[in-house]
């Protein structure tokens, strides 16, 4: 099976480790593609949430090239968005996903978060209403260097958050990650605030696919799998989900 190194369970979280991020992306995409086909055989429409980050590149490329998926019955969402960037900014997560998957296959619908700071609270309400129109079937996500999922950084993460979407202030490590990933040249360019789907919203997905390659994620992966389940490392809550798989490469798994 590709370049698998190991697979194991931590509480309820099933983890597979691959030799490199290409194999990781191929395996994760094949799992999601099969889940999609299975769901589309059982129901008319599927609703999916996607993460936008360079860590997802190989996975999104493979998934958008997968055969046999009727994307015209799939509705797409993204899980977070910066506040205040211009609508054509390449760093916007909606634009990132449009380039890598939303614009590459024929979705039934794609719902974008609007970054206009004048309407951010209303936008959270609008997006929350869209998310509640039906169940979320699949969530394709990553983990941040500080253990965040979406933009639920440790300081704002809430495992029992009453909101579905909220505005958050980004912590320094989260903003620095955007520079480390090559999305911005300097931390001063990174927005200070963002909209994010909350942790209960993400965990409401029937199946979670967690794609986490690269050496900069090794510490967060260690804390996710070996630390306490706590908002100090928000991703640790994934160990409580009944149907989640995490895909690592040799670099991101180096500390476990």
For 41-192, where are the E strands, in sequence order? 46-50, 74-78, 80-82, 109-111, 138-141, 165-169
Centroid of chain to Cα 180? 18
Number of continuous H segments (helices) and E segments (strands) in the chain: 7, 11
Q: What average pLDDT does range 37-46 have in this prediction? A: 98
What confidence tier does 15 reach under pLDDT thresholds 50, 70, 90? very high
Give the model's pLDDT for residue 196.
98
Domain membership of residue 68 (yes or no) is: yes
Give the model's pLDDT for residue 58.
98
Domain membership of residue 255 (yes or no) is: no
3-state secondary structure of 150: coil
Range of the domain at 210: 4-249
Domain membership of residue 71 (yes or no) is: yes
Q: What average pLDDT does range 126-147 have in this prediction? A: 97
- Virtual CA dihedral for 78, 80, 82, 87, nearest 10 degrees? 10
**How far apart, in Å, are the Cα atoms of 64 and each of 2, 25, 101, 102, 141?**
19, 12, 6, 9, 16
Domain membership of residue 256 (yes or no) is: no
Domain membership of residue 27 (yes or no) is: yes
Q: How many domains does the chain have?
A: 1
Q: What average pLDDT does range 211-238 have in this prediction? A: 98
CATH of the domain at 43: 3.40.50.1360
Q: What average pLDDT does range 177-194 have in this prediction? A: 90
Domain membership of residue 254 (yes or no) is: no
For residue 142 the two structure tokens come to 């990553």
Q: What is the pTM of this model?
A: 0.96
What confidence tier does 181 reach under pLDDT thresholds 50, 70, 90? confident
Give the model's pLDDT for residue 1.
59
């Amino acid at each position: 099976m590709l370049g698998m190194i190991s697979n194991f369970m931590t509480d309820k979280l099933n983890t597979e480790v691959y030799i490199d991020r290409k194999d990781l992306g191929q395996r994760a995409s094949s799992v999601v593609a099969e889940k999609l086909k299975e769901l589309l055989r059982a129901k008319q429409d599927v609703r999916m949430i996607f993460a936008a980050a360079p860590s997802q590149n190989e996975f999104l490329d493979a998934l958008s090239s997968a055969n046999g998926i009727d994307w015209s019955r799939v509705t797409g969402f993204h899980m977070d968005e910066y506040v205040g960037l211009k609508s054509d900014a390449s760093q916007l997560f909606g634009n990132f996903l449009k380039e890598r998957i939303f614009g590459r296959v024929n979705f039934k619908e794609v719902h974008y978060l609007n970054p206009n700071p004048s309407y951010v609270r209303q936008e959270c309400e609008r997006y929350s209403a869209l998310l509640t129109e039906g169940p979320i079937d699949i969530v394709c996500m990553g983990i941040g260097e500080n253990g965040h999922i979406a933009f639920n950084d440790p300081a704002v993460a809430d495992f029992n958050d009453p909101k579905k979407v909220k505005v958050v202030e980004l912590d320094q490590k989260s903003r620095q990650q955007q520079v480390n990933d090559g999305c911005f040249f300097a931390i001063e360019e990174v927005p200070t605030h963002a909209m994010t789907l909350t942790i209960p919203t993400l965990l409401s997905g029937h199946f979670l696919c967690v794609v986490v390659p690269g050496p900069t994620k090794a510490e967060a992966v260690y804390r996710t799998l070996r630390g306490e389940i706590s908002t100090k490392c928000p991703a640790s809550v994934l160990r409580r989900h009944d149907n989640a798989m995490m895909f690592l490469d040799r670099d991101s798994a180096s500390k476990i």
